[in-house]
Amino acid sequence: MVHSVRQAWAAVTAAGRSPRADGSAPDTIRPLFAADPQRFESYAFRADNMLLDLSKTALDGRAMAALLDLARVTGVEARRDAMAAGEHVNTTENRRALHMALRAPAGATRASGGAAVAAEIHSTLSRMHAFTQAIHGGALRGATGQRFTHVLNIGIGGSDLGPVMATRALVNPASPMTALHLGNVDGHGWRAILATIDPARTLVLVASKTFTTQETMANARLVKGWLAQTLGESNAASHMAALSTNLAACADFGIPSERVFPFGDYVGGRFSMWSAIGLSLALALGWDSFERMLEGARAMDLHFLKAPLEANMPVLMALAEVWHVNALGLNRRAVLPYDERLRRLPAHLQQLEMESLGKRVTLEGETITQATGPVVFGEPGSSAQHSFMQMVHQGPEPVPVDFILVARPDHPWLENHRILLAHGLAQAEGLLAGKDEAAVRAEMTAAGTDAATIEKLLPHRIFPGDRPSTTILLPRLEPFTFGQLIALYEHKVSVLGTLWNINPFDQWGVELGKQLANPLLEELETGSTGTTPHDASTTGLLRELLRLRGDG
């Protein structure tokens, strides 16, 4: 098998380096459209009403054959099925990866986590539902008898990024509560929130699996102190709930067990939005919307589990990533959602992809000799067109782009939406087509530009084109399609883990910073240095901080 995997990788590499049969370079895209007017139909894929267009990439028959062979010999289907069956695919932590089980309906036979896990998940969902209904119906109220109108979620990483993204994507004028999020330990974030909320009508959720996450607990103590100061010490607990598995620590903090909603260690933070971590979504959006989000994700789960590799959207997206990163050496990717509601999607994908795939050793502990994922960045379109898209169009290295378009808006200003869609389509078309010297010369001549000016400006106005992009088209942005979209990217990540032979479900690099911060915090608290050895730079910076703070 090792020899077969090596051969498969060699075929992918060869497809990215050697000319095609027609003599065109393997990274060019325009010749593929010239040779095949029906290329869109061949490289557009569907799951329900979602469409994935890979036609504006340099993938051709030779590349796709090599990539699909790679998927087969690396065991993408077997690893997918092992994950669905609840095997311990997170080998470095000896854990399962059961995010699909979080959205499996009662009675599901596939990707349900097994009877015990399914019962545990649905018990928590039932409690979340009852709690949500009690809050919305007024059966559970604040200490002063007023209804809760705001929910403040305190978390960090996956306990914050996912809920923030989903809330901003799906909140609407009819949403039952206002959601606020406190993630960064920087007190300026709390100051900004503090000016907008009434403690008597605010429900606080503390999201930490272990209930020991330093940043989250610092913020939780801050907010609990505010509740105690404004409502009275004995009333603070009635305004709090926890998303955690550490019942003892929650009780010590003053949150009783009936207000604690657990999630298992088989769920990583960046995959946890579908679990108890989603309670803020259920409260802010309504239970029906939360359920529809789970159903959308489940629909993508079933597509991932059942569709053949040749038509499997998560698999195809992962193969396109391998093509760009490993075959063509393109180590950056931009994400441009042309919908303002998805403005936090790039940040969520940064964590989902870079935390999952930022690994330097294989599953066997051997040093990796190839790239495992690009740097992911992005902003909503059309705003991004006025910032980093200049580099994407004319920079020396192509940057693959994910364009996400939504056909129908949920607002009445159709002219604005038509302009938005036109710009999204135009950006992808411009990256593909570019503008050559002849076109620039003709355009400037037609505008009456003199010959000398044309010659001077000509190099600056040429666009090379042949720059790859992928387009995901949604009919509308609503809970079901949103769930589909996020699950699509989740499964893409798990497939990439298989293709690159790495564990996408651990995050040891996150732990290092936590360990190093503790002795530095002690030194900042005591105002002294030298108690713990540091490098010269860190020691110098620490002394300078203490001096500027007035401690030295």
Query: Parallel, antiparallel, or unpaired for β 44-47 and 50-53?
Result: antiparallel
Give percent helix, percent strand, percent coil of the chain, each to the nearest 5: 55, 10, 35
Residue 159 carries which DSSP code?
H
Task: Give the residue from 249, 264, 248, 195 showing the smallest Cα distance to 226.
Answer: 195
Active-site annotation holder among 355, 379, 478, 523: 355
Active-site annotation holder among 87, 366, 386, 397: 386
3-state SS record for 424-448: HHHHHHHHHHCECHHHHHHHHHHCC
**Segments of 374-513 assigned E as strands:** 375-378, 401-408, 469-476
End-to-end CA distance of the chain: 62
Does 423 participate in catalysis according to the annotation? no
Active-site annotation holder among 366, 443, 514, 522: 514
Alpha carbons 326 and 135: distance in angstroms, whole number: 50
Does 492 participate in catalysis according to the annotation? no
Burial of 197: CB neighbours in 10 Å, binned 0-12, 13-18, 19+: middle
Task: Give the residue from 353, 337, 382 showing the smallest Cα distance to 473.
Answer: 337
Kindly write down the DSSP assignment for every residue of 75-99, as one continuous string: THHHHHHHHHTT---BTTTTB---T
| Residue 52 near residue 402 (C-beta atoms within 8 A) | no
| Residue 426 near residue 389 (C-beta atoms within 8 A) | no
Does 306 participate in catalysis according to the annotation? no
Kindly write down the DSSP assignment for every residue of 295-317, as one continuous string: HHHHHHHHHHHHS-GGG-HHHHH
Alpha carbons 245 and 209: distance in angstroms, whole number: 5
Please give the positions annotated as active site: 355, 386, 514
